[in-house]
């Protein structure tokens, strides 16, 4: 891609972030929508590079593909499907057609059924156990923790791992009469989920079961009556599904009205993504900062660092959203990508990470672009001083990464303690190279509406990055081979089949573990 080459050339010998920094830059390299403020001034993108990055969006036809997505066109070409998670949060008057048929009456009807079911479940049950994995787990699990201050419904437990410890621990001490087990699986075939669901049925007789799935035949075969099944269409991808039936546990936890606020937050971000010019468009700006760091500068990872303890599951949620979407090796036409695919995404809430892995971010030899997130206000009355410390730490980290500390400054700090060569040696360990990039997302307070804004912001960011790279962000063929091989190994481990066809290492491991 020529524009990317031009960007790489500009990045060579670009001024430092501190040299670029001034008030005008902060104004130019930040944008705000509905209280959400994104600052990407602490990157090395200058005006010229920003113009090229924006050009990339036009060259790659991002606007046309975005409009095609919202219009229900089948942009998930390898599976022949539309991509319409946005329909799950569209307003009451929306009309969204797939193959000439408006899908919104069905969406609204399911949402109404969910609301009635959730309202009743909030009275009848003390515990909800959501059994699902990947997109059928991470969204609601992340959301229930994030919105703990609004959680006034039954306790919610999330079981995902096929490790029997997960389901055994979750079922411990539950009263079947007061427990709702939700089997969440789009396909209703996923080994982990179906194994855990069968165990729950055996071990908790008398519990009420509900299902969230696209496959109504399989839910019936499992024995779940139709009035406790909430279906969705194939145009909702697993990792984009927490807005609909897969969000049922979240709706039960916080109540239907607050779930509506969550949907409204997502809807507001959709409107912004569709209407705002790219230069002020938050999903586009997040994507451009991502492309700059990953494809232009060659940084293979990015850290997501929420200064919000209740966003502890957000990095895991974003790992699936970003890495399952944009971790591809070929472009839409099947040709090998000419650029790297999406980055490794990882992170932990601050300030905990500061006492664990930030050492490497500050002084390691590789540059790790950091995405900080922080709220202006917390939820804990009387603990405002905690929140001030939280904000101070968040801002201190991005400042330290940018500013760094020179050898001369380190020597001054050491004062009289050392001299000569020993002073130089000791100072070298205390040098911070600085000029390390970060972005900061500031939100007013982690309400259901704001969580909706943030999740939709990241969804669209992934879409923009994927589109620029020519990737289909909505399939996940890369998970299939491991599943097939696990299916072939299970009977070998059970002693029912021979390991002869396997390689020497796998045979030796089977022998040790069988
Ligand atoms: O909801 P299902 O069909 O059980 O799938 C769970 C997860 O498994 C995957 O298909 C990957 O194996 C994810 O994309 C999906 O979110």
> Distance of CA 179 to CAs 201, 209, 424, 496, 509, Å?
12, 9, 65, 37, 40
Report the C-alpha gap between 59 and 490 in whole angstroms: 48
What's the whole-number average pLDDT of the chain? 97
Q: Check if 393 has its Cβ closer than 6 Å to any atom of ligand 1.
A: no
The span from the CA of 172 to the CA of 203, in Å, is 10
Query: 480-513 — its CATH code?
Result: 1.10.1390
Count Cβ atoms below 10 Å from residue 78 Cβ, excluding itself.
Answer: 14
Q: Nearest 5 degrees, angle CA 329-CA 335-CA 337?
A: 45
For residue 1, what pLDDT is reported? 63
Protein residue with least CA distance to atom 12, ligand 1? 479
Express each pLDDT in 486-498 by its tens digit. Answer: 999 999 999 999 9
Q: What is the reported pLDDT for 415?
A: 86
Per-residue pLDDT of 68-79, as tens digits, reads 999 999 999 999
What is the ipTM for the molecules in this complex?
0.98
**Which one is catalytic: 380, 386, 483, 490?**
483
Domain with CATH 3.40.50.10490 in the chain: 1-71+263-403+437-469, 85-254
**What mean pLDDT is predicted for residues 372-392?**
98
Q: Which atom of ligand 1 is nearest to the CA of 187?
A: 3
Digit-coded pLDDT (tens) for 191-230 = 999 999 999 999 999 999 999 999 999 999 999 999 999 9
Q: Compute the average pLDDT of residues 430-459.
A: 98
Rounded Cα gap, residues 254 and 411, in angstroms: 54
Ligand 1 within 6 A of CB of 134: yes
Q: What is the pLDDT of residue 141?
A: 98
> From the CB of 476, is ligand 1 less than 6 Å away?
yes
pLDDT (tens digit per residue) in 154-191: 999 999 999 999 999 999 999 999 999 999 999 999 99
Q: Which of 271, 300, 258, 305 is nearest to 115 (CA)?
A: 258
pLDDT in tens, 219-265: 999 999 999 999 999 999 999 999 999 999 999 999 999 999 999 99
Give the confidence band of 282 by pLDDT, cuts at 50, 70, 90: very high
Instruction: Specify the fold of 85-254.
Output: Rossmann fold (3.40.50)
- Tell me the CA distances in angstroms from 474 to 9, 74, 80, 342, 497, one per residue in order: 32, 11, 11, 13, 36
- The fraction of the chain above a pLDDT of 70, given in percent, is 100
Q: Residue 109's pLDDT band (boundaries 50, 70, 90)?
A: very high
- Any catalytic annotation for residue 385? no
384-391, Cβ contacts within 8 angstroms, sequence gap of 24 or more: 389/351, 390/307, 390/350, 390/351, 391/307
Residue span(s) of the chain under CATH 1.10.1390 come to 480-513
pLDDT, tens digit, 9 for 90 and up, residues 332-368:
999 999 999 999 999 999 999 999 999 999 999 999 9
Q: What pLDDT sits at residue 188?
A: 97
Smallest Cα–Cα separation from 67: which of 465, 474, 460?
A: 460
User: What is the CA(238)–ligand 1 centre distance, in A?
Assistant: 6
Assigned architecture for domain 1-71+263-403+437-469: 3-Layer(aba) Sandwich (3.40)
């Amino acid at each position: 891609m020529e524009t990317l080459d031009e960007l790489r050339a500009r990045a060579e010998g670009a001024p430092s972030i501190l040299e670029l920094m001034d008030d005008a830059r902060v104004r130019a390299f930040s944008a705000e929508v509905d209280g959400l403020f994104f600052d990407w001034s602490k990157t090395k993108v200058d005006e010229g590079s920003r113009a090229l990055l924006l050009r990339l969006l036009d060259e790659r036809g991002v606007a046309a593909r975005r409009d095609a997505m919202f219009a229900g066109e089948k942009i998930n070409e390898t599976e022949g499907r539309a991509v319409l998670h946005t329909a799950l949060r569209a307003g009451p008057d929306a009309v969204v057609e797939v193959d000439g048929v408006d899908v919104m009456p069905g969406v609204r009807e399911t949402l109404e059924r969910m609301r009635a079911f959730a309202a009743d479940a909030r009275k009848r049950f003390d515990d909800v156990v959501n059994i699902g994995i990947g997109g059928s787990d991470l969204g609601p699990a992340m959301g229930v923790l994030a919105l703990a201050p609004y959680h006034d419904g039954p306790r919610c437990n999330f079981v995902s791992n096929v490790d029997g410890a997960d389901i055994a621990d979750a079922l411990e001490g539950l009263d079947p009469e007061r427990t709702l087990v939700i089997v969440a699986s789009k396909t209703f075939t996923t080994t982990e989920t179906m194994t855990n669901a069968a165990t729950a049925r055996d071990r908790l007789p008398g519990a009420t079961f509900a299902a969230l799935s696209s496959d109504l035949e399989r839910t019936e075969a499992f024995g779940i009556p139709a009035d406790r099944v909430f279906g969705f269409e194939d145009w909702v991808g697993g990792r984009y599904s927490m807005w609909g039936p897969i969000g049922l546990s979240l709706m039960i936890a916080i109540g239907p009205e607050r779930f509506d606020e969550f949907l409204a937050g997502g809807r507001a971000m959709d409107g912004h993504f569709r209407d705002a010019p790219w230069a002020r468009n938050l999903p586009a700006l997040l994507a451009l900062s991502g492309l700059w760091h990953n494809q232009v500068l060659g940084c293979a990872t990015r850290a997501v660092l929420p200064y919000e303890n209740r966003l502890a599951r957000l990095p895991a949620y974003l790992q699936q959203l970003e890495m399952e979407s944009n971790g591809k090796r070929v472009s839409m036409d099947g040709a090998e990508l000419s650029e790297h695919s999406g980055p490794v995404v990882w992170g932990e809430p601050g300030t905990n990470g500061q006492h664990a892995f930030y050492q490497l971010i500050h002084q390691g030899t590789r540059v790790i672009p950091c995405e900080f997130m922080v709220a202006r206000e917390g939820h804990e009355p009387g603990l405002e001083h905690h929140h001030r410390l939280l904000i101070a730490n968040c801002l201190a980290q991005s400042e330290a990464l940018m500013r760094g500390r020179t050898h001369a400054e380190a020597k001054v700090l050491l004062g009289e303690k050392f001299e000569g060569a020993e002073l130089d040696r000791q100072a070298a360990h205390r040098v911070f190279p600085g000029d390390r990039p970060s972005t900061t997302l500031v939100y007013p307070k982690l309400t259901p509406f704001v969580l909706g804004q943030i999740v939709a912001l990241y969804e669209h960011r992934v879409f923009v990055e994927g589109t620029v790279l020519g990737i289909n962000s909505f399939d996940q063929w890369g998970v299939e081979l491991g599943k097939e091989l696990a299916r072939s190994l299970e009977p070998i481990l059970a002693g029912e089949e021979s390991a002869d066809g396997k390689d020497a290492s796998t045979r030796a491991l089977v022998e040790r573990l069988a």
